[in-house]
Each structure stands twice: as C-alpha cells, then as structure tokens.
Amino acid sequence: MTLVHWDEVAGGQNLGEAAGAVRIGLQRLRIAPGRTVATRAAQSAEEELVVVLSGSGELRHGGIGTAIEAGDTIVSTPGVRAHALAAVTEPLDVLVFGTRSREAPDDAPAERAPSIVKLADVEGDFGGSWKRLGREGGASRSGLNLGVIPPDDEGAPPHCHDAEEELYVVLAGSGTLELWGGPQPGQPAPTEPEETHPLRPGHVVSRRPGTRIAHCLRSGPDGMTYLAYGTREPNDVCYYPRSQKIFWRGLGLIARLEALDYFDGEPT
C-alpha cells in the first residue's frame, strides 16, 4: 500500500505500517488532559522526531518539565535520555516519527536532553516554503521537513530513491499524489504521470526505496502543507524520470544518462 488516511487506522497509531512503510515508524498520539505518555526509552539507538499538531503540554525528562505547543518539533538523537509527553490543561495531538535502527543500542549513558525546535524560528529555504526541522534540531540519521506548496504547483520534481525511504503527511490544503513510471529504454521521457490519487489533510503517503516508481506531490487551488520524513542514506541514488537525470547524492553529482536495453551493444 502507498496511501492511507489517518482516520482509517484504528486509534490513529501505526500509520507508517498501515501505509506500507518498511523502516519508518509513524504514530499519532492524542493525549487527554492530565495524562502522560512515554515516547522514548532510555539507551535508544534510534532518532525520534515528534511534531506537535495541536494543543500544548510538557516534555518531561530527567525530572524537568519543558513547555511545548503546536508547531514545536522535538528531536531526540541517540544518547538522549528517556522522556514523556504530558497534556496538562488541554489535549495534546502529536505525530511521532522514527526509523527502525539496524544498530545495537549505544552503551553510552543517556545524559542529553532532547532539542525543541520552534517552527517560527526556522527561516527555511526557497522563501521559507521548505523548513528543515530535523536538521535544525540536530538530527543526522533522518530528515524531517515542513513543505508548503503554493496553489496549483508541485513540490519536488517526480523522483524515486534506490536506498532512502520517505513518508509524507498532509497537514492542510489539498492536492494530488502523482506516480510516474520507471525507465523505458528507447522511449522518450514521460510527460504525464501513470497514476494520480487525491490528497487531503490526514493522508499519509509511503514511498519505499527501490520501487522504480517515481512520485510527486501537486497542490490544488488552495495550496498544500505537508511533512516530509525520510531516512538519510549516504549512498542513495535518486532518479528523475521527467528530466532523465540521475543524482548520486553521496557524491553531490547530477548527470543525464541514456537508458539502454540490457543486451544493448552485446553480440547477437
């Protein structure tokens, strides 16, 4: 599965799994006033990124309570101490992103506190339409960005990854998920997607690596705001079918190649 709406998932939890994600975990937690929910265990080797959708409360860690509110992003890197989220006087609605680690937990003592990133403090790229929330909080193993697409426009060009996994959550507005076909030797570059799916707030889009199917998010007449979360793989290669480009991201090199048949140039 590629697309699911959070209203279709019981309790709003396990959204990543419901959308078909392999390594990315995503849960939605709605915490009632007076309740506290632990989101991170001690000695975790994973990065965890929490986005506060609405409400306010406290991040509690090491006996300290730090105020949090809508728009905040909480970044916990490996070695950050265990902590919990508390709704004090009003409900707290959050999204919890995490990447399933293949590494053993770090043996170093968990002494550091998580970072809290205020959305208003992040200037952003491309005129503020792309805010790198995870990077601002010190995340290095995963990326979390807030994207704002103007009306009737597109986000990143159609692309697919061979190693990185991505997960998108639509927060506001409306739009379309476009799916583009893979390389076709001897054929011109595609100009239209093969599939389209409508998007609205609450939709979760999972894009696994290595599918050869490119994706693009396109906004409707009211624009679209979304979260983009992804694993950060240093050896990832990205393919752009519309422009026939290849991006070796670890090298910082973009080139255009000719797609050939497997037996092209071989003796017949």
DSSP-assigned beta bridge partners for residue 179: 195, 215
Separation between Cα atoms, residue 74 and residue 118, nearest integer Å? 9
Q: Helices then strands (H, E): number in the chain?
A: 2, 19
Confidence of residue 104 (pLDDT cuts 50, 70, 90): very low
User: Model's pTM, two decimal places?
Assistant: 0.92
* Contact assessment for residue 71 and residue 136, using Cβ atoms and an 8 Å cutoff: no
Compute CA distances 260 → 181, 242, 265, whole Å.
16, 16, 9
In residues, how long is the chain?
268
- What's the pLDDT tens digit per position in 114-150? 999 999 999 999 888 999 999 999 998 899 999 999 9
Answer CATH for 3-103+111-253 from 3.40.50.300, 3.90.650.10, 2.30.30.230, 2.60.120.10: 2.60.120.10
Tokens matching residue 11? 């309790």
Average pLDDT of every residue of the chain: 91
Task: Look at residue 267 and tell me whether its pLDDT is greater than 60.
Answer: yes
Where is 19: in which H helix or E strand?
Answer: helix 15-19
